[in-house]
Structure 1
Amino acid sequence: MKSLLIVLFVAVSSFTTFGQDTGTMNATYEGYSNGIYSFTDDEGEIVEFNNVTNEVSSKYDLTSQKFVGRQFSITFTVDSELDEDDEEIQVSTIVDLLMPE
């Protein structure tokens, strides 16, 4: 019975983390609008994030104009979720943000 619970736990843990990717990048902050945090990467592509963690929010108030134009090193996650129409959507969250010196 104990081994069955361990196998079940591992299986459920694997399932819940399925669809989550983690990445890092360097980008310039462009601003916050309509709930989206926008950055431009080194290749000129616009990258948008849906969320920031509380830890990031406590370090940088990205809803203000104070950090627009500043370069950041961004660590982020991208989760696959289903919306109310059972369509798969990507939700991106900034989990760590550093401003190079």
Structure 2
Amino acid sequence: MKSLLIVLFVSISTLTAYGQDESTMNATYEGFINGTYVFTDDEGERVEFNNVANGVSAKYDLNSSKFVGRQFSITFTIDLEMDEDDEEIQVSTITNLLMPE
């Protein structure tokens, strides 16, 4: 019974870890505005990200204005989390940034 529970736990953990789909888009950085990282995509739509992965923030300091107006290729995930009111919210995280040369 104990080994069955371990196998079940590992299986669920694996499914959760691989359940995140990454997407990629091209967009221009507008700045860190009201606690979010704001970009404008190729069609002029505003896209906001809640978080930046550690490796990305080490490479690009998006809290400064240094990269405002620069074009990036953005790889990101969107996860569903529960807020303090037990409502489901989307949390978007930039997992990789590339700046065309």
- Distance (whole Å) between structure 1 residues aligned to residue 17 and residue 71 of structure 2: 30
Paired residue for 1:6? 7
Paired residue for 2:80? 80
Paired residue for 2:25? 25
- Distance (whole Å) between structure 2 residues aligned to residue 81 and residue 72 of structure 1: 27
Deviation of the 1:84 alpha carbon = 1.1
Paired residue for 1:34? 34
**Count of residue pairs brought into register by the alignment:** 100
**Gapped regions of structure 2 (runs ≥ 5):** none
- Distance (whole Å) between structure 2 residues aligned to residue 12 and residue 75 of structure 1: 23
Deviation of the 1:33 alpha carbon = 1.6
Query: Aligned Cα RMSD in Å?
Result: 1.9
- Distance (whole Å) between structure 2 residues aligned to residue 28 and residue 41 of structure 1: 6
TM-score w.r.t. the length of structure 2 is 0.87
Does residue 49 in structure 1 map to residue 49 in structure 2?
yes
- Distance (whole Å) between structure 2 residues aligned to residue 52 and residue 32 of structure 1: 11
Question: What letter corresponds to residue 65 of structure 1 in structure 2?
Answer: S
Secondary structure of the structure 1 residue equivalent to 2:64: coil
Deviation of the 1:30 alpha carbon = 0.5
- Distance (whole Å) between structure 2 residues aligned to residue 22 and residue 60 of structure 1: 20
Secondary structure of the structure 1 residue equivalent to 2:57: helix
Post-superposition CA distance 1:23-69 (Å, at most 9, x none):
11000001112210000011111000001011111111111111111
Deviation of the 1:8 alpha carbon = 3.5
TM-score w.r.t. the length of structure 1 is 0.87
Does residue 61 in structure 1 map to residue 61 in structure 2?
yes
Deviation of the 1:19 alpha carbon = 6.6
Moved over 6 A (4+): none
